[in-house]
Structure 1
């Protein structure tokens, strides 16, 4: 079933003001001009007919097809995915612009139901494909080069073969997906509808989280305490969502015979469990030399005996609390992208001038940020909640990297363009690194350099340490749920069990912080998504080291890697750079870059 985009960044954006310049909004007309667009009705009608005729032509007959026949079957399936993807991209993006609008929510829900109903007869395709003997499929692939191009897709589908249920049960699961989505929508709408009152001002979650980076410590504390108050008042709802989602996942995993709660994510990411565990173990082992060491430095800079949770993302005392307006942010990122390779700048340009970015913070708009690829014959759309801090510039650089990656991978076609999450973060984190290095090179003083380095270290800690702590929390949550219903206090305790370990002894934790798991969208929308951030950061740090060493032809190899989309495994993609993510030392190499930045910050103290 087609999956909607969702906010994916851990939203701790910086403070802003209304004087940010002309913030762009989406122009969704490249998808459809509106809910009543004749093209939308045409596509829905086509989709219903195309799914029915596909099932009539191929169900029960896949084993009889020759190479040319199987290729035609694959191409027809790809076209169906493209039209369904276009419809749901339009519905989903409109919804995320205003999640509190009942009309938009109904339109998206109705579209999802129709597409689920239309595509249910197609469930046989992957089931029958998995029943083909290996030697038979290999023979067909060897006979037709155009068909052989889709081998990565066949491999991905057939990786699920050991976990496949009966045809009837698979159709039931497909239909039931709409019900699971309802819990995700409940989470989104609850989060978007929360109101927080701080210092007499009522605001949504983005504005309140934004207070956690306010220069005034009293404002940070007020924001943190109000978040805790409102999360606490709604914790039963969030606990119900998590209990239900985790139980649903446990039932499906049990029926499929999946070895662990994480197995499905590893399969979809095309990454071996031992590679993820090597990453996880390397990061946890590095907590003392990364987060513990950095936050001890920050505690001294802030002049505190002990840090509270509202100090974690506080600006540094020597930091210029400037607001970066939108035109300046655009220039900073575009300059960094173009300096790496002019082609990258050209690919990024239309995002700014063609209505491909929705940047402003608006009531009811989904929190966080994302880049959604839509479909390969349109273009990606980037969503931000831009508030004007340097950190927000980094988020722009990050999401624009996703967008450029998605544009380049579109040449692979609908089925092969989609990149597994572990590799999907490559271009985004690399885009951040390019922008950061450009800003560091242009630093006019030691103090400015220190602030930039500290900001980058904090972002890396949020991307690596915090996300692995999130991953550990999820592992504990799903394991505990298998033994029965979890109370809010049970979930709170699991959350706190990973927080002190990852953040270190510099912190005290206020009453109420134990509920801060409640607002993280990944846990609900896409269990175990979070380790992909750490994977991507570690991978890019290693990749950037190769670039910084002056690897000949790096830019061309990099573009080739992005153009490959989901057509190659991480081993194949990294081999041209002399890198291998399955080597445990690989992760230490990536983590040493963060440690090196902290070394430089400590040296500045002398």
Structure 2
């Protein structure tokens, strides 16, 4: 694992002391005040051309703010225990929040323009027509908008509200140490041991996790209770119908589409996770599985450490096999410091791809340990990165893809890599790869929908009052037993494992986007395998659209419709087919 790449931030700023940061902040402060003076109280009276110019100026400020906060945030995630980086991010957050207070009026006044007049204005100016998709998403919040004073208050207090609790969670998680056989390990390294070939070592790691989670459970419960209550208060004031509603609005997806996905996956639990884990128990020679066996490698698995160069070439070859343009878009991530791969003290756990701003480039974070799952994670995050590069041509406000489609390229990249690895494999090698892919898909679909149900139950219960740690633990276990199936036994202490999942803290109800993306990609890949004419061109056009089109419009060229309840069964049948093949290998 020597010589793993690390980020080069020069596309953003030369360093924390770069004078351009101060210069950009000064420009922002002045431009925000000029913008407010030019437009506050006047948007509804502006001509279409004037409104188009207004939106372009607003987008210009969003770009500079995004550059500053991307730089501060990425440096912080490299080492969340570094007090200097934490202070810098907090200071930048404070400054940007103060500056952007002058911009709060923009969305409020845009939403107060009558629908008839808005439609007329959009029809009169090409600039407004181009921005209509993002304006439509903004105006979807129109029924739930508060007074100008309250909206400004919520904006200003955010740095000492949810953002502060998020930061407390991140810094606590990054500072945790787990004692595994006398060795002090980070969260990421300890979680990695849950897929160790040695069952005793997996069990030891599980108990190490439980011990630390139990110790910090009061804090994690307090963070979760506070954020859920904070959300409930704001939702109540806005008169949002459900805790999930704000996420659905942000994702530009209809609630019934998400519920159709959720119901289809839950109904498929017996055919997917229950059936697969019963099969896995048999392979491991176990009558019942413990939680530390869920991600255990099969006895036939290739457990060698995969070097960085091999991982890189595997993914690039898979991308190139689909279309050379995909590999060309991915190549600079490896050669220009766009990936931060090593596991380091204080580094945030997990992986992500951050788009930053459209006139820079995305940054991919990994915690690479050389496992096959890490190779698939690389393929996943590079998919995001390629998607973000292609969508950048839409501009700052239209490039951002709703979460429901944001996972499309990432999961498709995983599928391409899996299919490439599967080529020519027979016998136990094929079986091991199929099993690994099924596990990844179960983690992406079944586990994430179980996470979504956990959040739904948690937020509903929190509306009835404060939740004790035992209350939250019980909610967690109710969805775990249902989703994993009867073959599992749950060791005392596993009920605390909800506490380390960052999505529950940072992005409530984000998790269904993974299942949405997997189901969508399974259906897309079936179209690709059927030899759909010009599939690559349609695929690139879909990615290039960014957030400029609704999911229905983007999927139409492929003959797919996510609002059709049967759509999700198509995606789930792909997973079921792989399990069928694994069962057939037993005969």
Structures share fold, TM-score greater than 0.5: yes
Q: Is 1:96 matched up with 2:74?
A: no
| Shift in Å, 1:134 | 1.2
Q: Tell me the alpha carbon deviations over residues 458-493 of structure 1, each in whole angstroms, 9 at most, x when there is no partner.
A: 000000000000000000000000011100000000
**Counterpart in the other structure of 1:594:** 575
Residue aligned with 2:353, SS: strand
| Partner deviation per Cα, 1:171-218 (whole Å, 9 max, x = no partner) | 001111112100000000011111100111001100100110000000
- Rounded to whole Å, the distance in 2 between the matches of 1:407 and 1:539 is 21
Q: What residue is the counterpart of 1:25 in the other structure?
A: 6
Aligned equivalent of 1:229: 211
1:547-567, CA deviations, whole angstroms, 9 ceiling, x for partnerless residues? 000000000000000000000
- Matches of 2:44 and 2:459, distance apart in 1: 39
Q: What residue in structure 1 maps to residue 320 of structure 2?
A: 338
After TM superposition, list the pairs within 5 Å mapping 1:22-171 onto structure 2. 22-171=3-152
TM-superposition CA deviations, 1:335-391 (whole Å, max 9, x none): 000110011111000000000000010010000000000000000000000000111
Q: Quick one: distance in 1 between partners of 2:438 and 2:174? A: 30
Q: Of 198, 218, 232, which aligns to 2:180?
A: 198
Alpha-carbon displacement from aligned partner over 1:92-147 (angstroms, at most 9, x marks no partner) = 00000000001100100010010000001111001111111111111111111122
Counterpart position of 2:454: 473
Confirm whether residue 293 of structure 1 aligns to residue 287 of structure 2: no
1:315 paired residue number: 297
- Quote the residue 2:333 is aligned against: 351
Q: Distance in 2 between matches of 1:215 and 1:94?
A: 34
- Which of 539, 543, 556 aligns to 2:524? It is 543
Distance 2:16 2:35 in 1: 27
Question: In the alignment, is the contact (CA less than 8 A) between 1:21 and 1:327 conserved in 2?
Answer: no
From 431, 436, 440, the equivalent of 1:455 is 436
Residue 382 (structure 1) aligned with residue 358 (structure 2): no
Q: 1:511 aligns with which of 488, 492, 509?
A: 492
CA distance in 2, matches of 1:549, 1:134: 43
Q: In the alignment, which of 177, 181, 190 is matched to residue 158 of structure 2?
A: 177
Q: Whole-Å Cα distance in 1 between the matches of residues 328 and 83 of structure 2?
A: 38
Question: What is the aligned partner in structure 2 of residue 271 from structure 1?
Answer: 253
Aligned partners of 1:424, 1:468: CA distance in 2, in Å? 17
Q: Is the Cα–Cα contact under 8 Å of residues 269 and 420 in structure 1 kept in the other structure?
A: yes
Deviations 1:42-79 (A, max 9, x none): 11111111111110110001012111100110000000
Q: Within 2, Cα distance between the matches of 1:62 and 1:284?
A: 47
Q: Deviations over 1:226-246 (max 9, x none)?
A: 101100010000000000000
Supply the distance in 1 between the matched residues of 2:387 and 2:148 (Cα, whole angstroms): 36
2-structure distance, mates of 1:133, 1:501: 48
2:585 alignment partner, SS class: helix
Q: Which runs of 5+ in 1 are unaligned?
A: 1-19
- Indicate the SS of the match to 1:582: coil
Taking the aligned partners of 1:331 and 1:195, their CA distance within structure 2 comes to 34
Alignment partners' CA distance in 2, 1:507 and 1:114: 50
Moved more, 495-504 or 316-325: 316-325
- SS, match of residue 240 in structure 2: coil
- Paired position in structure 2 for 1:568: 549
- Partners in 1 of 2:85 and 2:403 — Cα distance? 28
* In structure 1, C-alpha distance between the alignment counterparts of 2:119 and 2:469, rounded to whole Å: 51
Give the TM-score, by structure 2 length: 0.99
Higher RCO structure (Cα 8 Å, ≥6 apart):
1
Q: For 1:8-37, what per-residue CA distance to the aligned partner results, in whole angstroms no more than 9, with x for missing partners?
A: xxxxxxxxxxxx242100001110011110
Q: Which runs of 4+ in 1 moved over 4 A?
A: none
Confirm or deny: 8 A CA contact 1:98 1:104 kept in the other structure: yes
Alignment of 1:221-260 (within 5 A): 221-260=203-242
Shift of 1:442: 4.0
Query: Which residue does the alignment assign to 1:557?
Result: 538
Structure-1 residue corresponding to 2:505: 524
How far apart in 2 are the matches of 1:183 and 1:123?
23
* Distance in 1 (alpha carbons) for counterparts of 2:124 and 2:230: 42
Partners of 1:234 and 1:41 lie apart in 2 by: 39
Query: After alignment, is 136-145 or 460-469 more displaced?
Result: 136-145
CA distance in structure 2 between the partners assigned to 1:313 and 1:211 by the alignment: 9
Structure 1 residue 452: Cα displacement = 0.4
SS across alignment from 1:149: helix
Q: 1:413-436: per-residue Cα shift (whole Å, max 9, x none)?
A: 000000000100000000000000
Count matched residues. Answer: 586
* Residue of structure 2 equivalent to 1:446: 427
C-alpha distance in 2 between matches for 1:288 and 1:237? 36
1:435 aligns with 2:424: no
Correspondence for 2:355: 373
Specify the alignment match of 1:364 in structure 2.
346
Task: Please name the residue that 1:403 is paired with.
Answer: 385
* CA shift for structure 1 position 320: 2.0
SS in 2 for 1:197: strand
Measure, in 2, the Cα distance between the counterparts of 1:29 and 1:232. 42
CA RMSD in angstroms, aligned pairs only: 0.6
The residue number in structure 2 matching 1:10 is: none
Q: Which residue number in structure 1 is paired with residue 477 of structure 2? A: 496
